[in-house]
Amino acid sequence: MAERKKLTIALVANAGGHLTELQSVETAWKGHDFFYVTQRYPWTQGLKPACLTPGLDVRKLPTLKVLCMLVMAAFVIAWVWVRRRPDVVVSTGGELALPAFWLAKLVRAKTIFIESYARTEGLSMAAKAVAPVTDEFFVQHPEQAQAAGGRYRYAGNVL
């Protein structure tokens, strides 16, 4: 039997529900070299292994400040991608997925987007923004997959 190649997997999600969803399927990455990419908050400081970007709270920040924070996050992510060279980048969403997925293509990493369980109709803004550079796209409700005409796959839900 052929031995599986050990992959380097970057797990990208905003701190909170998106990160919780990724952590709930951590056993899927077992046997591979994986690390999280999320925002720096008191509750993420102990997350290991992790690369932390500046914290973003888009609900409380003016648009210009959000853009500045995203640019800073993009620089951190670019540095991590050059340093760690992920083979695969997986995300459950949030604004961190945008720079992570677009920059992943520069290092030829495969990208997998798992739409949040909370999204029952339509796609999130993050999902729409990364769709052009997403290799595999999973939704967590069968109706979403049917509505997308085959572009997105339903393989059960994460939570």
User: For the whole model, what pTM was predicted?
Assistant: 0.86
| Structure letter (DSSP) for residue 146 | H
Share of the chain above pLDDT 70, in %: 84
CB 133 within 8 A of CB 111: yes
Q: What is the pLDDT of residue 136?
A: 92
**Per-residue pLDDT tens digits for 22-43:** 888 888 888 899 999 988 888 8
The amino acid occupying position 48 is: K
Cβ-Cβ contacts under 8 Å for 63 (sequence gap 6 or more): none
Alpha helices in 38-147, H assignment, sequence order: 63-84, 97-104, 125-130, 142-147
Domains of the chain are 8-154 (3.40.50.2000)
Share of the chain above pLDDT 90, in %: 34
- Answer whether residue 4 shows pLDDT above 80: no
